[in-house]
Amino acid sequence: MRAELTGGLLRDWQQRNRDATIPHVIAELRKAGNLDNLQRLADPSIGPYRGRYPFLDTDLYKTLEGLAYEADRSAGAREFFEEVVGLLEQAQADDGYLNSYFQDPDQPKQPWSDLGWGHELYNLGHLIQAAIAANRRLSDGRLLTIATRFADLVVRRFGVDGEEVVDGHPEVEMALVELYRETGNADYLTQAQLFVDRRGQGKLKHTIFPGEYFQDHVPFRELPSVTGHAVRMAYLAAGATDVYLETGDQTLLTALERLWDDMVATKLYLTGGLGSRHSDEAIGDRYELPSERAYTETCAAIATMQWAWRMFLATGKASYLDVYETVLYNAYAVGLSVDGTAFFYDNPLQRRPDHEQRSGAEDGGEPLRRAWFGCPCCPPNIVRWMSELQDHLAVARDNILYVGVYADARISTADLTVSVRTAYPWDGEIAVTVEESTAAEQAIALRIPSWAVGARLDGQPVEAGWAVVRKQFAIGDVLRLTLPMAPRAHGSHPYLDATRGAIAVARGPLVYCVEQQDVEVPVDDLLLTARAVSAAIARQQDDLLVLELTGGVAPAPANELYPVITEQTRESAIGEVPVTLVPYFRWGNRQALAMRVWLRTERDN
């Protein structure tokens, strides 16, 4: 099956990726010394290894994966691709090993000496994914040759008869499964399965953080909940799902469904963000979801989408794509500035008026989005995922075309070609037109999101899940889907202390927020009601749909930090004020002022 974005917001994002983000990332990688680190392996006079981390090669690999899609459509992309591939060919050791940090003769650490923090297998995972993308999209097998040589070394060293180890940062698991799919070599699938099964059995030397941080305190199938470092957790789960997809190991799927359900019910932000702790970039306890301290790393958003997509493939359930879509339009999209050259590493749901937003533990820098980071994992990750958005629109299976993510697109299978026309996510009208079809009976399944109450397909009501039309399609047939997009007010679970009694606003798949620029009173003094949200008006503003409504103004707060509450205490507005809400993914592109997703609500008792 092939899909191509032909218009709309997602295509605009891809064009921005080509025009701005890719050239910016290439320039920053050059400036940061990522290429120098490879070059100095042949010419030590270039200078010492640059960067504080031993896994910076991955940022080249993630970028190369994106360039496999955009090499001939983005300025300087092809030249950069060729240069990096040449350096990798030159740098790879005779046994297949490749890592510019550990191969550096000036480094005291030896290869494989620090699997907890060295990330050598994590590096390999991203190299494999870049190699497969280049082989499929560019018919260029050079990276695949490099990657398979390294993977073969890993199989020899850590395979069935080798050392029983795991990497401190999961990622290689899903890459090895994909390498098996690409090459047919079952050793790679076996190795992925081994890495999943070994985790939690004391195979990893822990330093700084305990085993829970690495998802290594109990075997994967026994994890009681998603836990530890958020990116690691979601990458591991995505890899385990891939292993299930190829082996049919039901014990894995049972664990995966349990972990997913618990995450969605207790640990996922309204935006789809995952991870509530800055100290260790971790997920936190159930219902530990503070807004202003939300970490929700951009890489964790991408990892969550990878897991969601695979769970959809494993089960066919549309609910996984509901979460995928929420992450896509909110927790992922917010990580990139409107001009495509500045980034959020962490993605809070609130900015206080006196807060200086920083990224992780780094000092200094711009007060909001930044051009680059000391650990720049997120920008190249954005590049590769943005280039692959069309690969996550639809799936053809069992003579059914499942259209799961809506955008202007052309989707083709062996027997059916359709065009999708829509202004989604701003509008819920979707037209699917058959352009080519065989004579055989076929089916088209359209996802009905859980929020789309009152959805209709060709005028008939349809429920959340999949709406399936099965018939002998003729050229020119049109399916017309209407997804109502009334603004809605969200509350939160009573155990979620940080937002108890507050209201958040969403419309369609988009979460909205208020920035101080768009309301006359301090955002902390703004009161909303569900009734006001239901009466909100969607209005075009530049390239966005904003929501306009009337909010209440809270009385001046007591000077006491912890005033006494009596039966007469009420949260009632003393006035009204117009409010404009903007999509959460667009906050932080103006002056650095206060912002809130969750707003105080006027109470009746």
- Write the pLDDT tens digit of every residue in 499-555: 999 999 999 999 999 999 999 999 999 999 999 999 999 999 999 999 999 999 988
- Write the pLDDT tens digit of every residue in 20-31: 999 999 999 999
User: What pLDDT shows up at residue 572?
Assistant: 80
- Write the pLDDT tens digit of every residue in 67-98: 999 999 999 999 999 999 999 999 999 999 99
Q: Is 540 exposed, middle or buried (0-12, 13-18, 19+ CB in 10 A)?
A: exposed
- What is the pTM (predicted TM-score) of this model? 0.97
Mean pLDDT, the chain, rounded, equals: 95
Give every CB contact of residue 155 below 8 A, 6+ residues apart in sequence: 162, 187, 188, 190, 191
Structure tokens at 578: 């117009």
Q: Measured between alpha carbons, how far is 360 from 345 in angstroms, rounded to an integer? A: 8
- Write the pLDDT tens digit of every residue in 495-508: 999 999 999 999 99
Per-residue pLDDT, averaged over 277-301, amounts to 96
- Write the pLDDT tens digit of every residue in 223-240: 999 999 999 999 999 999
User: What pLDDT shows up at residue 356?
Assistant: 65
User: What pLDDT shows up at residue 563?
Assistant: 83
Query: Are 531 and 567 spatial neighbours (Cβ–Cβ below 8 Å)?
Result: no
- Confidence band of 604 (pLDDT split at 50, 70, 90): very low
CA distances from 274 to 307, 354, 502 (A): 12, 25, 20
Per-residue pLDDT, averaged over 159-180, amounts to 97
Q: How many CB atoms lie within 10 A of CB 134?
A: 24
- Confidence band of 358 (pLDDT split at 50, 70, 90): low
Query: Are 363 and 393 spatial neighbours (Cβ–Cβ below 8 Å)?
Result: no
Give every CB contact of residue 565 below 8 A, 6+ residues apart in sequence: none
Pairing of strands 504-507, 488-490: antiparallel
User: What pLDDT shows up at residue 492?
Assistant: 97
Please report how the helices 22-32 and 378-387 are oriented relative to each other, as an axis angle in degrees rounded to 10. 150
- Write the pLDDT tens digit of every residue in 130-161: 999 999 999 999 999 999 999 999 999 999 99
Per-residue pLDDT, averaged over 62-66, amounts to 98
Q: Which long-range contacts (CB under 8 A, 24 or more apart) does 141-144 make?
A: 142/85, 142/89, 143/64, 143/85, 143/88, 144/182
Q: From 133, 109, 114, 123, select the one nearest 153 (Cα to Cα).
A: 123
Length of the chain: 605
Helix (H) or strand (E) holding 468: strand 465-471
**The tokens 């009173």 sit on which residue?**
521
Structure tokens at 508: 């369609």
Per-residue pLDDT, averaged over 447-466, amounts to 98
- Write the pLDDT tens digit of every residue in 562-603: 888 877 666 787 899 999 999 999 999 998 899 999 999 986
